[in-house]
Structures are given as C-alpha cells and as structure tokens.
Chain A
C-alpha cells in the first residue's frame, strides 16, 4: 500500500488512503508474467460513476493492472474488490459476470465473426445494458458495416466495436486499454465524446492512457503508474498545475 509506494518516491506520501467501499478498490496488487514480476503493489480506487485514468510510460504496468483486474493474469496477489466483493482469486469469467467489461489494448476483434456477431458476442450479464440500436446510434459506422468481417473494419471502427460490444452486457465498470492508440484526431474526439456520454449514463470507467491531453478531457482523476506501482494521484482540476511533474513522470 502507501508504505511500499513511499519507498520509491517521496511524492507518493501524498497518496490518499484507499476507500474499501469504492466500486473498485485495488490494494497492493502484484502480478507476474511467468518468472517476471511486473506489478509491485498497485493501489487505487474508483468510485461509482467516475472516469479514472492510469497514466504512465510504456511498460509501467498499466495494461497489466487492467488484465489483473479482469483476471487474465496467471499469477496475482493482493486485493481487488469490486462492488465490495473480493475478486483476486476469481477466474476472468466470474469477474466479468460481476459486471466488468474489458476492452483489450489490441481490441480483440474476431476475424471469423461478422461485425454484428462481434457486437453481440459478449453475453448479457446484468439488466441495464444498451440495446443494439442504442449502440448503433452511438457508433453509426457499426450499423452500416454490420455484415462485414470484423477485422475488415478500420482501426477506429474496430475500437468502436470493441467498446460497443461491452455496452450491451450490463457491465457497470468498463476497463478501456488505450482506446485512442494509433487513431486519427477526429476519431479520438469521437471516442472522447462517447466516454463522456457513457459517464453521463452512469458507467464507471478505468482508462489506460499515454496521451494525458486526451485523458484530461474525459477523466475525473489520474493515477500515475511507474515501475509496477501507483506513485501519484492527480485530480483533473489540478492537472494543469502539476504539468511539470507529469512531464517528468511520463518522460515527454
């Protein structure tokens, strides 16, 4: 927790305590890829209805953190509580069934499935998800190309499909791994507007980003991840005041 983070950087002393009652409370999360120890005690929380980003350099452990939350990392320890329930020992299937939707960094569009099949693949877990019509309204391109092979879509459309398909399931917490990576500015803006709308509809979102200029437009709070730890938390309103510190963190 805070103690481990303190060792790495004095700034971490300012990290607020984790609220165990938050919708998502991650404490002292460690994870391994085989022998390689990649997360060394990640702690952060996300309250219901918030949009929170994990910022950090390549290889800092942001993607691994999301993978550990959804449960597809082989070995992980610590605590991940979702809706008050401890999920650290659960399979990814059980975590998903609690209401967590996951968009992987590589988007994970299935090439042997049509766009429509991709969109309706994740099973409905809880009531309250969007209908296919509502998703089409959000992303009109997906409707036009419903019959195409999933991977024939452009990068931006694939990203919309990857986000769209988890909106149907009734998941309340969305884990989005770099949804803007490699996309044209106009598409990035569209994704940003979508995230705002989803927040307005009550979704809680954890966003992994490298682009903090984009993160600034959508998020409530930012956690900085460095070498497998959360080292700082910056409320969005204070982002501009902390811009120099952030540049140091991100190495930009």
Chain B
C-alpha cells in the first residue's frame, strides 16, 4: 500500500475504476444518442428508459424464461431495439416535418410512461440480478482489487464503442449513414431507402441503450428509475462532447467518468456537480462542444 498526494492508492485506483465504469455507460449511452441525433435530428429523451428496459428485459428473461446473462446480452438489446423500431415507425416518424422540439417532447413523454409502467409493476426498491458465474471474483493487482465483472464492463463497452465507430467511419454502410446525416434528400434521390435507414438507425441507437442496461444489471440493482438518474448526466456528456459527434461522444464519455472518479477522491463534495460545471465551461468557451462542428 502506498499513497499518492496523501491518498491511499487503493482508494485512488478504486475511484478511478469506478469512474471508468461510469464512463463506460456514459460512452455507450451518449454514442447511441449521438447516432440518433445525427440522422434523425431528434434528441431521444427516452434513452434512459430504454437503458432501463435493457436491464429489465435481462431480468425478465432470467426469471420468466430461465435465459441467463450471456444470451440476454444479445437478446435484450435486440428486443429493446425492436421496440425502438416500432416506436420510430408508429410515432416518431410522424414528427420529422415539424420542429425538433416535438420529437423531444414525444420521447420525453414516452420515457415517463415507460418508467411509470415499470414502477407500477415492479416497484422502486430494485430487483437483484446476479453476476454471471464466469465473472465472479476478481484480481488482486497489488495496488488495488479488480473485480472481474467490472473489468468486463469496461472492455465490453470499449469494444462496442470502437466497433460502432469503425462501422460508421470506415465502412460502406457507415458512408450511407454519414451521407444521409448530411443530406438525406440527395441520398434518397440516388435510390437509397433513407426512411428504412432512419428506422434501423433509431433501432440501433436504442439497442445500444439496451445493451448498456444489460451490462448495468449486475452492478446496479434493476430499478425503474435507473435510467432517469443516469440520463441527465449523459445529456451533459453529449453537450460537452458535441451533439452528433461519434468519436467525441465515446472519448468524452470515458474521460468524464474518470474526471468524476478523481473528483470523488480529491474533492468529494463536488463529485455530483463536476460534470455540469464542465458543461457550463465548455458551453461558454466552445458552444458546439469539444468535438462538435459549429453549424
């Protein structure tokens, strides 16, 4: 055991790890928001509720169907993503011709309804979801103890973020997405089915939230309010990173998780507000966000 700036190393690294875990969720969630905002121009306020749904679907799969964590890691995002596809087709797609504000209001209302329904059914005390057997325990690293599941969360979210970034920035499919983000009318005039792309993109962004929900289930209790608590911070992350920037949302997500962790060590009183303070500063200096392009 040693100390850094008078702080025991275990406490410092413990908080950094916690920050990295939070950062993992910030990154996946803000990435989903960025992808959706880029193409749909809609601020998806239902994102937190969809993250919560991912955790609940994993819990339901386990308790009602006996389906464990690993299949749920794939199934739950697919189911939540499919829910998103229906939502987009039935409701959101009717709002594209109106001001962005209506999309925001619709998704905000949906979030309240979804959370209310889950609260009615499952209460707010939270449901337990166990860590899968393969990832129980942890590694003693000397300077700190690293729980296996938490290491897995960081790795899994990094991989998902990087794969998403790669697909969007480096593949043909991503080129369609980037082009349609810039000029959907012209892409459609080339014979591309843009409405289908929009639907699937929304479904994908929602599935990312569902995936984050499954990852979160064994760490936080499965609770109807888990998304509402998190999403406010995620919106701050998105604003800091720059609305619609893919790489920006990933990097900002992880970085702000770490900043939050460090604040908990050195000035715990500010840990709940530090991200919002940064948001204010960034908005003052660079209103488009750190990675955003001014329009």
Contacts and interface: CB of A to CB of B under 8 A. Distances in A.
Interface of A: 70-72, 91-93, 95-97, 102, 104, 108, 110-113, 117, 120-123, 125, 166, 169
B88 to A, nearest CB: 18
A72 B186 CA distance: 8
Contacts of B194: 93
A112 B178 contact: yes
A121 B190 contact: yes
A72 B179 contact: no
Nearest to A97: B191
Given A113-B175, A117-B175, A122 B182 contact: no
Which of under 10, 10 to 19, 20 to 34, or 35 or more describes the interface residues of B? 10 to 19
Contact of B179 (A71, A95, A112, A125): A112
30 contacts: A72-B185, A72-B188, A91-B188, A92-B188, A92-B189, A93-B188, A93-B189, A93-B192, A93-B193, A96-B189, A102-B186, A102-B189, A102-B190, A104-B186, A110-B183, A112-B178, A112-B181, A112-B182, A113-B175, A113-B178, A113-B179, A117-B175, A121-B175, A121-B187, A121-B190, A122-B191, A122-B192, A125-B191, A166-B190, A169-B191
B176 interface: yes
Contacts of A125: 191
Nearest to B183: A108
A166 B186 CA distance: 12
Interface in B181-217: 181-183, 185-194
Nearest to A124: B191
Nearest to B187: A121
B188 A121 contact: no
B81 to A, nearest CB: 24
A174 to B, nearest CB: 13
A121 B187 CA distance: 8
A122 B181 contact: no
Contacts of A104: 186
A115 to B, nearest CB: 12
B176 A121 contact: yes
Contacts of A117: 175
A71 B189 contact: yes
Contacts of A93: 188-189, 191-194
Contacts of A71: 189
A99 to B, nearest CB: 9
Nearest to A94: B191
B183 A123 contact: no
A93 B188 CA distance: 5
Contacts of B179: 110, 112-113, 121
Nearest to B97: A74
A47 B186 CA distance: 26
Contacts of B193: 93
B178 A70 contact: no
A71 B181 CA distance: 20
A96 B191 contact: yes
B191 A72 contact: no
B243 to A, nearest CB: 15
Contacts of A112: 178-179, 181-182
Contact of B189 (A70, A113, A120): A70
A104 to B, nearest CB: 6
A120 B191 CA distance: 13
A122 B190 contact: yes
B206 to A, nearest CB: 23
B219 to A, nearest CB: 35
Nearest to B182: A110
Contacts of B188: 72, 91-93, 96
Nearest to B186: A108
A68 B87 CA distance: 32
Which of A95, A113, A120, A169 has its CB near the most chain B CB atoms (within 10 A)?
A113
A169 B193 CA distance: 15
Given A92-B185, A112-B179, A113-B179, 10 more contacts: A72-B188, A91-B188, A102-B189, A104-B186, A108-B183, A111-B182, A112-B178, A113-B175, A113-B178, A123-B191
